[in-house]
């Protein structure tokens, strides 16, 4: 009898172990059939800089299956990711227009490739996906998905350098390299001795094309040109030392004459500002800055200014030396908010210790324009 009981107990334990090892059963939602059939206007795309504002691809899809009852609604979402690396994915675009389509320009698609560290010219397979989310208060329904793949190759948005090609009246050709002051900004700058000439901007020192010729939006506008054709060069009538600034974000060129600074800086000093009359403090805290690569002629200082009944004053040092040159006010107590004359930097003995004053306490931005030789004072934003 004991043997029979032991056998029964053993069989019972085996049944328990077997039941513990059984795979658990989960409820799985049915995957809906793709009725949206996502399409792309092209599945082989070579992006081009000259077309960057044009549409590169348009995605369209049919309506998703209506599920979830009469009160359910559908919201469409769209995204793209690298077919080989799904962590490289765009934002999720929610379709709020009611139309079942979305488009991307050459520039927008190229920026996506750049954000994924895809080198210009390299072809990459992108998977596009539209997601139909069913909005129902009664039950959760698995979204309907539709996908399509396309191959895309991008372009180099901003060259590390461009080349100013100048042709004078005698046909003499001069080429000058221009680099970005801030890498990746698309703004190029160079200072050179100019004379009257016609000019354009090439992407290579060895070839005229592709290049930027005169555009249709004014004498200083640019347009991208891939090959020789009926295009007009820009024209310069100035003679002397000038700084050229090319902004390929807005396709224009600006030529300015910059007043030379002995120590490549301007420093405010005086009790009209928090710097006071200490040149050491002025060096550390009173420097005007030129941060806009598009406008190297503009230098600014933002800070608290003090009126004190008109007794507080300031001037601008260019040498950081009391015996050196300063920018002085045109008249004693001139208010730069209303009197904008700057004049050349000079020694104190050459015209007197004339200083500026503000009309009231406040936080202001002082701006010095080294091209127009003007000074401005405006409330800080």
**pLDDT tier at 17, thresholds 50, 70, 90:** very low
Nearest to 236 by CA among 210, 200, 264, 198: 198
State both tokens at 16.
């328990």
Distance CA 324, CA 317 (A): 8
Contact, 358 vs 364, CB < 8 A?
Answer: yes
**CA separation, residue 265 to residues 106, 191, 316, 330, 359 (Å):** 41, 17, 10, 21, 26
pLDDT of 139 higher than 90:
no
User: What would you report as the CA-atom Rg of the chain, rounded to the nearest whole angstrom?
Assistant: 34
**pLDDT tier at 92, thresholds 50, 70, 90:** very high
pLDDT digits (tens, 9 = 90+) for 231-284: 999 999 999 999 999 999 899 999 999 999 999 999 999 999 999 999 999 999
pLDDT digits (tens, 9 = 90+) for 54-83: 999 999 999 998 887 777 888 999 999 999
Predicted local distance difference test score (pLDDT) of residue 8: 54
- The sheet carrying 362-369 orders its strands as 298-305, 362-369, 374-379
Distance CA 127, CA 370 (A): 52
- Listing DSSP states for 307-361 in one string gives -GGGT--BEEESSSSTTS-EE--SSTTB-TTT--B----B-GGGT----B--SS-
Predicted local distance difference test score (pLDDT) of residue 26: 45
Distance CA 222, CA 201 (A): 9
- Listing DSSP states for 233-269 in one string gives -EEE---EEEEEEEETTTTEEEEEPPPP-TTS--EEE
Contact, 262 vs 303, CB < 8 A?
Answer: no
pLDDT digits (tens, 9 = 90+) for 279-310: 999 999 999 999 999 999 999 999 999 999 98
Distance CA 84, CA 376 (A): 55
pTM of the shown model:
0.68
């Amino acid at each position: 009898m004991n043997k029979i009981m032991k056998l029964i107990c053993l069989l019972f334990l085996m049944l328990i172990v077997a039941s513990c090892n059984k795979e658990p059963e989960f409820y799985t939602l049915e995957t809906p059939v793709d009725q949206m059939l996502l399409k792309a206007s092209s599945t082989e795309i070579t992006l081009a800089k000259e077309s960057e504002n044009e549409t590169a691809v348009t995605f369209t899809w049919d309506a998703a299956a209506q599920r979830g009852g009469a009160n359910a609604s559908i919201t469409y979402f769209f995204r793209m990711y690298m077919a080989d690396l799904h962590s490289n994915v765009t934002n999720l675009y929610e379709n709020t227009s009611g139309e079942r389509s979305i488009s991307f320009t050459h520039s927008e698609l190229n920026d996506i490739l750049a954000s994924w560290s895809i080198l210009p010219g390299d072809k990459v397979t992108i998977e596009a996906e539209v997601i139909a989310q069913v909005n129902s208060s009664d039950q959760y329904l698995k979204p309907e998905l539709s996908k399509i793949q396309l191959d895309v190759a991008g372009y180099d948005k901003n060259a590390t350098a461009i080349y100013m090609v100048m042709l004078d009246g005698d046909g003499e050709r001069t080429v000058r390299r221009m680099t970005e002051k801030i890498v990746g900004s698309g703004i190029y700058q160079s200072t050179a001795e100019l004379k009257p000439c016609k000019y354009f901007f090439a992407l290579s020192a060895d070839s005229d094309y592709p290049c930027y010729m005169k555009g249709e939006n004014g004498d200083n506008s640019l347009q991208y040109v891939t090959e020789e054709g009926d295009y007009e060069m820009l024209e310069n009538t100035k003679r002397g030392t000038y700084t050229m600034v090319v902004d390929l974000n807005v396709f224009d060129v600006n030529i300015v004459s910059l007043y030379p600074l002995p120590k490549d800086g301007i420093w405010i000093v005086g009790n009209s500002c928090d710097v006071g009359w200490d040149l050491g403090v002025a060096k550390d805290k009173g420097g005007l800055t030129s941060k806009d690569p598009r406008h190297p002629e503009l230098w600014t200082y933002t800070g608290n200014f003090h009126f004190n009944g008109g007794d507080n004053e300031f001037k601008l040092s260019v040498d950081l030396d009391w015996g050196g040159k300063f920018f002085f006010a045109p008249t004693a107590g001139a208010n730069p908010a209303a009197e904008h004359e700057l004049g050349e930097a000079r020694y104190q003995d050459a015209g007197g210790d004339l200083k500026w004053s503000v009309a009231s306490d406040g936080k202001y931005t002082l701006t010095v324009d080294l091209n127009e030789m003007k000074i401005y004072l405006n409330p800080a934003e």
